[in-house]
Structure 1
Amino acid sequence: MSAEIVEKDSKNYPILRNLQYSPLKQGEEQYIVLWDPSGLSSEKLVLPLNFFYLFQFFDGEHSLEQVGAEYLKKYGEFMMPDRLTKLVSDLDEKLFLEGDRLKQVQAQAFEAYRKLDARPMAFAGRQYEDDPAQLRAQIDGFYASKEGPDKGKAECAGQVIRGLVAPNFELKDAGSIYAWGYQELRHGQVPDVLVLIGTCHAGLEGGVAFTDKDFETPFGIVPVNRAIIDLIRKESGETFFLEDIAHLREHSLELQLPFLKHALGEGREISIVPILVDFPPDTLTGGEYQQLFHRIDQFLTIT
């Protein structure tokens, strides 16, 4: 006789999503600002540190009564149940919690993304110039800056470039570091098909996410390599495309494209295979690494 699995009420056993946090100080008071790195929610929430402490217990395993007990144990104060309920309600309203409401919004977002012909620019005009002429000048400035390579000789000049490790930090702060890497591409031999692998800062359930969307840039559209994308889909079905919407708000690949087009020449025809990766700690430390290795083997076999 199999045991019956009872699903816990998400309102009483809340599960916090993978969010990003930053400290905020106002006078002598300290707060934490929460936001959604995936862009699914545009909301932000400012909380005092004592509320932030509770989030480690929003794991689907602790009831609100147990969360309140943890608060009492930590601070020696009783938190009224209605305050805790209000906090959970605010988090759910902002799509910061797992649950039915989040699933509905996610489904709508997935559908909208899959109807797009190309991934729109998410950071142009903020992290780099959105006007082509201004962008050229901006990138030229990174090369010519005192921290950049200027017109110095590339270490791999004339050689076949098989890979490049580049930053994914904001261009305005790290542009000259990008320039040192892309200096090698400017003077090396680079293939027409480029596999771009970037970190998914918002996290991925499956560890790997491809997308079949072309990428918009101020220098024009950068197309994906349809032959490779179609082969991967043929061999693996939707396995590696289930979380392709992660590309929509992720900056790690978008920030490479202005430098890539600038380094290789805006008129050169290239295609890309865009891949985001993220391996949750549980896959490495929680006994799930065999599943992770299987997915990596599956990907390598296809490619």
Structure 2
Amino acid sequence: MSLPEKPKLRRFIAGLPDENDPRFVWLFDQSRLSDRAVRIPQEWLPILEMFDGQRSLRDIQLELMRLSGGTLVPMEWLESITRHLEEALLLESDRFREHFAQVQVRPPACIGVYPPQPQQIHDHLRRQFLRPSGPGVDPDHLARNGTLASTLRGALVPHIDYHRGGHSYAWAYKELIEHACADVFVIFGTAHYSARRFTLTNRDFETPLGLVPTDKDYVQLIAENYGDGLFDDEAAHWPEHSIELQLVFLQYCFPHWPFRIVPILVGSFQDCIDEERVPEEVPDIAQMVAALQVAERESGARVFYLSSGDLAHIGPKFGDPHAVHDDQLNSSRQRDQQLLQHIAAANRHAFFQTLLEERDQRRICGFPPTYTLMAVLEPTRGRLVHYDQYVASNRFESVSFASLVFYKDTIVIASS
């Protein structure tokens, strides 16, 4: 087996102390693209930090000799470490890329946020509809009135965990059960693990409720109309929760509907804030909006758009200097309401302008996916169906979130 010339540890590689011997650490893949782990001594961790793709093994050997005052570090020893990491698929390499190319299904990553068994999931999600602050209806008894003429075409839904915000998901999915009609759900997920602006995958997704097929033809249409780069960080989908938590609700709410998905991770729009540029003026964003609109037209599918995003993130957990206090919560709630008014009015430019004025100091993670949805769908109106703030008991963090639905009404022009 040939070794990488300049070894680089893959992203998502983490270490856990060996419970039987704390002098050792188990290196493992958080994304679960490899199921193998490598056990190393704690003191080797600084050496592995040099596996950055910039240094050859010879460079690493010389650096270690310099740090140790000239003690010779055998090349065979470094090669042995590299070989173990390569065999375990923990390095960025041709071998890992070949392995990843064979993976057809993205497995569940969020079991624990929801139960592992299908009946338990059904019971858990049903409780989100019936719990306090939920819509208070049994989803099994809702009428399904969605038709091809339905004007309900999109929704902003939280991606906070179900324990804290499942009741808000339920408000949005109640509307979908009653009024949505779609062949394809295009899901804009907040990207927590990728620095790329947009990241696609054409792999199917699996949850304990079954396999969710990705519409590969639709994904191909987007890629053809956008250009290169959309799959460069495809592995970022594996640890991501923002799309998976929507899929479980979709499977629960539409158990007999053979829908397909188009999963798109949307990265930061912070440069739009910093440069005070409307997102559509940024070439790659404009390119993606146009590609998505062309893909919908050319696919012939009935498409529903989902933005998986939360609102404000405040408190020391997110970098603020002080514990969350009531005045801060009230102020944040008021500013959230201002944002949501603009979104409900289908005015994405006012939405962006409000974020620009506050320099996105409250870290609205739903800004990029929601703005993208609005730019692509161009809804005629929206409607807020739920809003809430989670506040940790120790006031270390607060996250606000909302469910809001979008309509695209047919505009009839009267003849003279």
- TM class, shorter-chain normalised? 0.5 to 0.7
Counterpart residue number, 1:198: 189
Asked whether the 8 Å contact 1:57–1:67 carries over to 2, the reply is: yes
Mark the runs of 5 or more structure 2 residues left unpaired by the alignment: 138-150, 269-281, 293-416
What SS does the aligned partner of 1:272 have? strand
1:5 corresponds in structure 2 to none
Contact 2:110 2:241 in 1 (8 A): no
Correspondent of 2:171 among 167, 184, 193? 184
Of residues 243, 266, 270 in structure 2, which corresponds to 1:253?
243
Aligned residue type for 1:235: N
Matched ranges for 1:83-232 at <5 A: 83-98=77-92, 102-110=93-101, 112-113=102-103, 119=105, 121-123=107-109, 128-129=114-115, 131-141=117-127, 149=133, 162-167=155-160, 174-188=161-175, 191=180, 192=182, 193-198=184-189, 203=194, 208-219=198-209, 221-224=211-214, 228-232=218-222
Picking from 252, 262, 270, the partner of 1:273 is 262
CA distances 1:260-279 after superposition (whole Å, capped 9, x unpaired): 333x4434564432113567
- Map 1:16-95 to 2 at 5 A: 16-24=9-17, 26=19, 29-71=22-64, 78=71, 80-81=73-74, 82-95=76-89
> Normalising by structure 2, what TM-score?
0.49
Native 8 Å contact 1:40 1:106 kept in 2: no
- The residue type equivalent to 1:301 in the other structure is A
- What's the offset of the Cα at 1:209? 2.9
Structure 1 pair 72–20 and aligned structure 2 pair: CA distance change class (3 A): same
Q: Which residue of 2 aligns with 1:290?
A: none
Count of equivalent residues? 258
User: Equivalent residue of 2:288, what SS?
Assistant: helix
TM-score (norm 1): 0.64
Distance in 1, matches of 2:215 and 2:239, equals: 21
Q: Tell me, in whole angstroms, the C-alpha distance in 1 between the residues paired with 2:87 and 2:258.
A: 45
Counterpart amino acid of 1:52? L
Which amino acid in 2 is paired with 1:103? D
For 1:194, the aligned partner's letter is F
Change (3 A) 1:97 1:152: same
User: Contact between 1:18 and 1:202, CA under 8 Å: does it hold in 2?
Assistant: no
Q: How many Å apart are 1:109 and its aligned residue?
A: 3.9
- In structure 2, the CA distance between the partners of 1:203 and 1:55, relative to structure 1 (3 Å rule), is farther
> Tell me, what secondary structure is at the counterpart of 1:163?
strand
Deviates more, 1:41-50 or 1:265-274: 265-274
Q: What stretches of structure 1 of length at least 5 have no aligned partner?
A: 1-8, 154-158, 168-173, 280-292
Assess, with a 3 A threshold, how the Cα gap between structure 1 residues 49 and 105 changes in structure 2: closer, same or farther. Answer: closer
- Contact 1:195-1:272 at 8 Å conserved across structures: yes
Q: Is the 8 A contact 1:199 1:278 kept in 2?
A: yes
Tell me if structure 1 keeps the 8 A contact 2:118–2:208.
Answer: yes
Aligned 8 A contact 2:191 2:242 in 1? yes
Cα separation, 1, equivalents of 2:47 and 2:53: 13
Is the CA contact (8 Å cut-off) linking 1:198 and 1:277 kept in structure 2?
yes
- Deviation digits for residues 101-142 of structure 1 (CA, Å, limit 9, x no counterpart): x414523541x34xx5xx364458776445432321233355
Deviation of 1:51 after TM superposition, in Å, equals: 0.9
Q: C-alpha separation between the residues in 1 aligned to 2:220 and 2:236?
A: 19
Aligned-residue identity in percent: 25
Contact 1:24 1:33 in 2 (8 A): yes
Shift of residue 201, structure 1, vs aligned partner: 6.4
Q: CA separation of 1:16/1:33 partners in 2, compared to 1, >3 Å: closer, same or farther?
A: same
Q: What do you get for the CA RMSD once the two structures are aligned?
A: 4.1
Deviations 1:173-203 (A, max 9, x none): x432241331221343564353323366665
